[in-house]
Chains A and B, each alone.
Chain A
Amino acid sequence: MANFFLDNSDVQFLFEHMDLRLLSELFEEGFRFHAEFDFAPEDATDALDNYRRILTSLGELAADVIAPTAAETDRVGNVLHDDGSVSYAPGIADAMLRLSQADLMGFILPYRFGGLNAPLLAYTMATEVVSRADASLMNLFGLQGIAETINAFASEEIKAAVLPDMAAGRKNGAMVLTEPDAGSDLQAIKVRAFQDGTGHWFVQGVKRFITNGCGEILLVLARSEPGIADARGLSLFLVERGPRVRVRRLEDKLGIHGSPTCELFFDDAPALLVGARQRGLVTYVMSLMNGARIGIAAQALGIAEAAYRVAREYAAKRKQFGAAIDTLPAVRELLVDMSVELQAARALTYYASFCVDLETGTSRRLEGGAAGDETKALQQELRRLKRVNAMLTPMSKYVASEMSMRVANSAVAVLGGSGYMKDYAVERHLRDSRITTIYEGTSQLQVVAAMGGVAAGIARSVVESLLDREWPEAVRPLAAQVREGLALLDEAVAFAKAQPGAGYAALYSRKIVDMACALVIAALLCGQAAASERKLAVAGRWLAVKLPELRMNRDLVCSGDERPIAEFEALATS
């Protein structure tokens, strides 16, 4: 039996390397749940064993049941029937049944709603494993953040009504945000929410590009305050699938064919307000989106892992010029870049998940009523983690999705003509990877979101805190190189800030964020290198490639060249 969790040495390494023990202590709140739920862990060792078992059984399901159906799912897609119902591709329907039977649809929900109370880091690993088997299935498996959002912000009544069904996989959901004229700019949402004389809410209007819009539990962002045109006029509503919700069409897409992308028409559909009015976008959707971004990063990792493996195996077998092509330096460079970039993006995404878990754990401790002296320290720590995560989350999404596209593209390159044909999965991986840089906020938007933290010195402080430790002899020169890189980042940030107006910094924000991402990853890889010989080579190669890039980016940012803005018409010829 194959296993997509156990066969991945890097994921295995990270499972051991990262402090899941600490997370289990935070999430199990002193292992107090065991008294109420006989399956809840008694201590950290028990909890870790649970995580390992859950991921192992998912890994087997992914390899043996899900992956073999992915090509067929890609080919047949989903079907919209005349009555507005949608049927999933057979492989997706079966996978959803299996995942439900395996209790895996409430990964991060609390025990009391039928969940597993797992930390985000374990869920990120799970999402990567699922996405490697079938990227499009992740769009259903990865929707568990919707349940989590309901858990975080909805009333007890709503939670009790829908969460047990969601955890058991009897119902699944969709986040219903995008409209024809409101994509990246969600403040422009037009779909209307109104109350009748008895105070009941209804939703009216059209939403599009809705992943799994055919699901039962729809979280709809709608304008509840007609007089307020910006984000403060928007509230979040729960609409259950019913006769007043119609799937009008399924999109025909480049990739992720197993994921139904729906256009929805809400015809005065009855709705329940989630949380407080006017906080829909500013609080709830931003929170939902952050979790979802990590999910997409994990999806991107899974796609890249799948593509890389095909390429690596093919290159070892394919003979040209009398030898396997993986002996050729040009192919070796491709494969090494793929593998190193993949491990780099994984290091960042897993670390971001870990930090989000620390934030969740800290905020739960505060809610649980920490002791007087401790409260202040915890509040301070929570504020720090929120700032860090507001940067690491978009960084992960940006780095992993761009990496995924490059790795899938390189996999096609390694396979050459065969890679372009449907005989191999890499063309599917390339098509599937393309969406990851677009949805849940485009790469350009992730850069904007990360740039604030980088400009405010948060990237620097994260790197410094990661470097602040005793290093083994072998890692010391690498840590010194990271410090050297930090000075280059400082120069670039200072120069951009010194330019008049916000245009220049915005123009070069991608280069600056690239520099910051490279350095955070370098610091993380140094930490891994201190624990593993293999990782020493990975960290060394990463820095060997990234230091020259850092210098180049510094030169570019400090060049003062404003032509893309000042001479747009001349350069972007029409």
Chain B
Amino acid sequence: MGYHCVVCVKQVPDTKGITGEAMRDDGTVNRAALPAIFNPEDLNALEMALAIRDGHGGTVTVVTMGLPKASDVLRESLFRGADRAVLITDRRAAGSDTLATSYILACAVRRLEADIVLCGRQAIDGDTAQVGPQLAEKLSFTLVTYLEQLLELRNRTLRARRNLGHGWEIVETELPVLATVLDSANTPRPPAARRVMKFKKARCRSEVEQAIGRELAAASDDERAAESARRCSALAGRGLLIEQWNLDDIGADLAWCGFKGSPTKVHRVQSIVLAGGAYREYPASDPGVAQLVRELIEDHTIG
């Protein structure tokens, strides 16, 4: 029998390429200064869902919440084999903290009727690791965090190994389940060329509208709406329209969304600028490494 896996993914700023402009003066992340990427551990979650589908049948639906630009990660998911992609985008969702985000995702996932929900352990921008557990709570799904290996999936029962950092734990639970997946769980498959050739043309409605806004700047609103309807229906006919839901579509209570639904208060933000000091090179040889280790022990960096 097949399982319906829903994977929650996030587009995040690439914190690897961080520069001095990564933070604004007010301490918030300057997303414009950093390239947007697929949150790395969400790719592991996606890979796990695809592997479940490959082994047991079923479908994989990928959901993300964000600006229309977040469709990038949905396209990337389609390149790698996802069957369906859903974008939740709504201005009223802006400013959502983990509580509001998990509430909105819960509203969406309920509509999708998932057997298994998979999330990355945490996102590299906020590093809270809260959304997965909160989502499980709201859905009343069994929560399995730090999933490293799926040992068995049979008769709607899942057995998995969790990596707790200081040891492993094997758990068994009935579906439905929500698991957060570690990067050590698998190596995500690469994008498949022929899927790339097809789904690079996939767009959500807002992206279509933005393109029309640029191309037909002089057109009337009615003309643009008509053109948008035409293009969306053409895309839908070819299986290239990314589903787009707003908060009304998923029946969300606005009091729980966006700034209003976000009780998180930032107490203080510290801007720590690491001054690039002198560096030393050690030869790439055994004596070189021994010398480096000796010095690190001497200044109590390690040991």
Q: Is the CB of B192 within 8 A of A54?
A: no
C-beta contact mask, B245-259 vs A, less than 8 Å → 1, else 0? 000000000000000
C-beta contact mask, B102-137 vs A, less than 8 Å → 1, else 0? 000000000000000000000000000000000000
Scoring B190, B284, B285 by chain A CB atoms within 10 A of each residue's CB, the highest score goes to B190
Residues of B within 8 A of A101 (CB): 189-190, 192
Chain B interface: which of A36-44, A196-204, A231-239? A36-44
Q: Is the CB of B200 within 8 A of A49?
A: yes
Q: Is the CB of A53 within 8 A of B200?
A: yes
Task: Verify if B263 is at the interface (C-beta below 8 Å from A).
Answer: no
Tell me the B81-120 residues at the A interface (CB within 8 Å): none
Q: Is the CB of B192 within 8 A of A53?
A: no
Residues of B within 8 A of A94 (CB): 187
Q: Is the CB of A423 within 8 A of B285?
A: yes
Q: Is the CB of A102 within 8 A of B191?
A: yes
B interface list, Cβ under 8 A from A: 187, 189-198, 200, 238-239, 284-285
- Give the Cβ gap from B6 to chain A, nearest Cβ, in Å: 22
Can you list 17 residue pairs at the A/B interface with Cβ under 8 Å?
A39-B195, A39-B197, A39-B198, A41-B197, A49-B200, A50-B196, A53-B193, A53-B197, A57-B190, A65-B187, A65-B190, A98-B190, A101-B189, A102-B189, A103-B193, A103-B194, A423-B284
Tell me the A102-135 residues at the B interface (CB within 8 Å): 102-104, 116
Q: State A518–B286 Cα separation when bound (angstroms).
A: 46
Q: Top 8 A-B pairs ranked by shortest CB distance?
A: A103-B193, A39-B198, A39-B197, A102-B190, A101-B189, A103-B192, A39-B194, A54-B193
Q: State A118–B194 Cα separation when bound (angstroms).
A: 12
Scoring B191, B194, B200, B284 by chain A CB atoms within 10 A of each residue's CB, the highest score goes to B194
Tell me the A56-76 residues at the B interface (CB within 8 Å): 57, 60-61, 65
Q: What is the number of residues of chain A that contact chain B, defined by CB distance less than 8 Å?
A: 20
Residues of B within 8 A of A103 (CB): 192-195
Residues of B within 8 A of A104 (CB): 193
| Nearest chain A residue, comparing its CB with the CB of B196 | A53
Given contacts A54-B196, A102-B193, 5 further A-B contacts (CB under 8 A): A38-B198, A38-B239, A39-B197, A98-B190, A102-B189
Residues of B within 8 A of A39 (CB): 194-195, 197-198
Residues of A within 8 A of B285 (CB): 423
Given known pairs A423-B284, A423-B285, the reply for A57 and B197 (CB within 8 Å) is no
Residues of A within 8 A of B191 (CB): 57, 102
- Give the Cβ gap from A211 to chain B, nearest Cβ, in Å: 25
| Nearest chain B residue, comparing its CB with the CB of A38 | B198
- Give the Cβ gap from A109 to chain B, nearest Cβ, in Å: 12
Q: Is the CB of B193 within 8 A of A40?
A: no
Q: State A61–B196 Cα separation when bound (angstroms).
A: 15
Residues of B within 8 A of A41 (CB): 197
Q: Is the CB of A116 within 8 A of B190?
A: no
C-beta contact mask, A425-439 vs B, less than 8 Å → 1, else 0? 000000000000000
Q: Taking chain B's interface residues, is the majority helix, strand, or loop, or is none over half, making it mixed? A: loop
- Give the Cβ gap from B148 to chain A, nearest Cβ, in Å: 19
Q: Is the CB of B193 within 8 A of A116?
A: yes
A interface list, Cβ under 8 A from B: 38-41, 49-50, 53-54, 57, 60-61, 65, 94, 98, 101-104, 116, 423
Given known pairs A98-B189, A423-B284, the reply for A116 and B200 (CB within 8 Å) is no
Q: State A61–B192 Cα separation when bound (angstroms).
A: 12
| Nearest chain B residue, comparing its CB with the CB of A47 | B197
| Nearest chain A residue, comparing its CB with the CB of B284 | A423
Scoring A39, A40, A49, A116 by chain B CB atoms within 10 A of each residue's CB, the highest score goes to A39
| Nearest chain B residue, comparing its CB with the CB of A319 | B281
Residues of B within 8 A of A57 (CB): 190-191, 193, 196
Q: State A94–B188 Cα separation when bound (angstroms).
A: 12
Q: State A443–B187 Cα separation when bound (angstroms).
A: 41
| Nearest chain B residue, comparing its CB with the CB of A53 | B196
- Give the Cβ gap from A93 to chain B, nearest Cβ, in Å: 13
Residues of A within 8 A of B195 (CB): 39, 103
Q: State A320–B94 Cα separation when bound (angstroms).
A: 58
Residues of A within 8 A of B239 (CB): 38
- Give the Cβ gap from A166 to chain B, nearest Cβ, in Å: 15
| Nearest chain B residue, comparing its CB with the CB of A99 | B190
Q: Is the CB of B189 within 8 A of A38?
A: no
Residues of B within 8 A of A38 (CB): 198, 238-239
- Give the Cβ gap from A418 to chain B, nearest Cβ, in Å: 9
Residues of B within 8 A of A61 (CB): 190
- Give the Cβ gap from A324 to chain B, nearest Cβ, in Å: 13
Q: State A508–B191 Cα separation when bound (angstroms).
A: 51
- Give the Cβ gap from B78 to chain A, nearest Cβ, in Å: 12
Scoring A38, A61, A94 by chain B CB atoms within 10 A of each residue's CB, the highest score goes to A38
Q: State A26–B169 Cα separation when bound (angstroms).
A: 58
| Nearest chain A residue, comparing its CB with the CB of B193 | A103
Q: State A101–B51 Cα separation when bound (angstroms).
A: 12
- Give the Cβ gap from B70 to chain A, nearest Cβ, in Å: 20
- Give the Cβ gap from A106 to chain B, nearest Cβ, in Å: 9
Residues of A within 8 A of B198 (CB): 38-39
- Give the Cβ gap from A100 to chain B, nearest Cβ, in Å: 9
Residues of A within 8 A of B194 (CB): 39, 103, 116
Q: State A57–B198 Cα separation when bound (angstroms).
A: 15
Given known pairs A38-B238, A423-B284, the reply for A102 and B197 (CB within 8 Å) is no
Residues of B within 8 A of A98 (CB): 189-190
| Nearest chain A residue, comparing its CB with the CB of B191 | A57
- Give the Cβ gap from A228 to chain B, nearest Cβ, in Å: 44
Q: State A54–B200 Cα separation when bound (angstroms).
A: 12
Q: State A50–B197 Cα separation when bound (angstroms).
A: 6
| Nearest chain A residue, comparing its CB with the CB of B81 | A101
Residues of A within 8 A of B193 (CB): 50, 53-54, 57, 102-104, 116
Q: State A49–B200 Cα separation when bound (angstroms).
A: 10
- Give the Cβ gap from A493 to chain B, nearest Cβ, in Å: 45
- Give the Cβ gap from B87 to chain A, nearest Cβ, in Å: 21
Q: State A53–B189 Cα separation when bound (angstroms).
A: 16
Q: State A244–B36 Cα separation when bound (angstroms).
A: 55
- Give the Cβ gap from B79 to chain A, nearest Cβ, in Å: 8
- Give the Cβ gap from B263 to chain A, nearest Cβ, in Å: 37
Q: State A40–B195 Cα separation when bound (angstroms).
A: 10
Q: Is the CB of B197 within 8 A of A40?
A: yes
Residues of A within 8 A of B187 (CB): 65, 94
- Give the Cβ gap from B215 to chain A, nearest Cβ, in Å: 16
Residues of B within 8 A of A49 (CB): 200
- Give the Cβ gap from A42 to chain B, nearest Cβ, in Å: 9
| Nearest chain A residue, comparing its CB with the CB of B50 | A101
Q: State A94–B189 Cα separation when bound (angstroms).
A: 11
Q: State A57–B193 Cα separation when bound (angstroms).
A: 8
- Give the Cβ gap from A135 to chain B, nearest Cβ, in Å: 21
Residues of A within 8 A of B192 (CB): 101-103
- Give the Cβ gap from B190 to chain A, nearest Cβ, in Å: 4
